[in-house]
Amino acid sequence: MGRRLSLSAAPRPGAPEPGRRGVGAREGWVLFSPVFPLAARWCVPGSGLRRGGVRRCQCREVQPSADCGSHPTNTAMEPHRWLPLEANPDVTNQFLKQLGIHPDWQFVDVYGMEPELLSMVPRPVCAVLLLFPITEKYETFRTEEEERIKAKGQDVKSSVYFMKQTIDNACGTIGLIHAIANNRDKMNFETNSSLKKFLEDSLSMTPEERAKYLETYEAIRVTHESSAHEGQTEAPSIDEKVDLHFIALVNVGGHLYELDGRKPFPINHGETSDDSFLEDAIQVCKKFMERDPEELRFNAIALSAA
């Protein structure tokens, strides 16, 4: 069971008032707890998105073109399943540190979509992780999107690092890998970095081969498990099914890509730049919200220069 957390910190001057609506076409981001789904609170800068209802991703891997929850046929082995990570910058930053990445870049909360709230995010930003609910509306859109892209095609640069997800609840770690792998020229890796070795070993692999390699890469699995026990909520049962999912948004070669291991390929969302990336990425996040206007369970964190 998780712990209920209250918004005890006082808002900064100019912060949005508690109760201000914040989803889809509305303003800001909502706080929620998947353990207590009715315990929703609105974002108050100064207390942080992760207080008052911390989120953990819990999703099931899929094969290409398969429905959520399917698993490769394997009668000899149990499905690969990890504990879900919490959508908490403190957790993700500690995770990256343990993987051997110098803290020149740090994840921070994104408090809302308005310009004054985005201005609170340190620049430059090189990646955004979005946590969102997998709903029937989203799954319908995902299927239609895949069919449309297969029919019309899209441009995806060969330099985009993309991997599939074949481990239950690993979407948080895969989102982190996508964020770092597509910005590795900016990162300062420690000499014995386990993530650096994983990226070097898997650079020439296919997305499916990278997923299989992660299944057997003990250093990342152990670090993930350690991080999954951190944060402000207790880790749920490993068998608990709550459909919350991480994706990464990155800038590669002047194009904004959505990287989701549940999808068969990256999604090109058009041109972007280092200066406009955060605003462009948040526009993509906004579309996720607008597709599910009744949903409140959205959260974003940005990988920013420390």
By annotation, the residues acting in catalysis are: 171, 245
Distance CA 52, CA 250 (A): 28
Alpha helices in the chain, H assignment, sequence order: 89-98, 115-118, 136-152, 171-181, 194-202, 207-216, 218-228, 277-291
The DSSP annotation for 258-270 comes to EE-TTSSS-EEEE
Residue with tokens 């990226």: 199
Distance CA 115, CA 120 (A): 9
Beta strands in 32-149 (DSSP E): 41-42, 105-109, 125-133
The separation between the first and the last C-alpha atoms of the chain, rounded to the nearest angstrom, is 34
Distance CA 138, CA 159 (A): 28
| Residues 235 and 229 sit within 8 Å (Cβ to Cβ) | yes
Distance CA 198, CA 36 (A): 36
Determine the angle formed by the axes of helices 207-216 and 194-202, rounding to 10 degrees.
140
| Residues 32 and 49 sit within 8 Å (Cβ to Cβ) | no
- Residue 292 CA, chain-centre distance (Å), reads 18
| Residues 138 and 292 sit within 8 Å (Cβ to Cβ) | yes
